Amino acid sequence: MSRTRKPTNKPENRKRGSRGKGRDKVDAAEFWAVAPQLPAPEPITVATDPTMVLRSLGDLPLQDRGQRVSHEIHRVLVRSSLLAGALAELAGLLDTPPDA
């Protein structure tokens, strides 16, 4: 017959008063104080080639499915770039290029 240990998550096996010791108390008024005003966000420019950074890392190490996976990742990156541009436009943050 083997002897089993008692689980340590039972209350009688835990040390009393060990929880929270050594922590500094934070003043509630300081914790819930009003946060300082953030600076105005800078205009956002939509990337002309959102896949550039990923392509700069080289080919994906995916044996026989590399081309299909690369295509799907390309689609996701382009789509997310378009959505980010649309959100920036709605928020009024899209940087407009100067007229040439």
Quick one: pLDDT at residue 100? 47
User: Which has more confidence, 4 or 70?
Assistant: 70
Spatial distance between the Cα atoms of 21 and 34, rounded to a whole number of angstroms: 28
Is the pLDDT reported for residue 5 higher than 70?
Answer: no
Instruction: Scan for tokens 């959100």, then name that residue.
Output: 87
pLDDT value of position 18: 55
CA distances (Å), origin 37, targets 34, 40, 41, 88, 90: 9, 9, 12, 21, 22
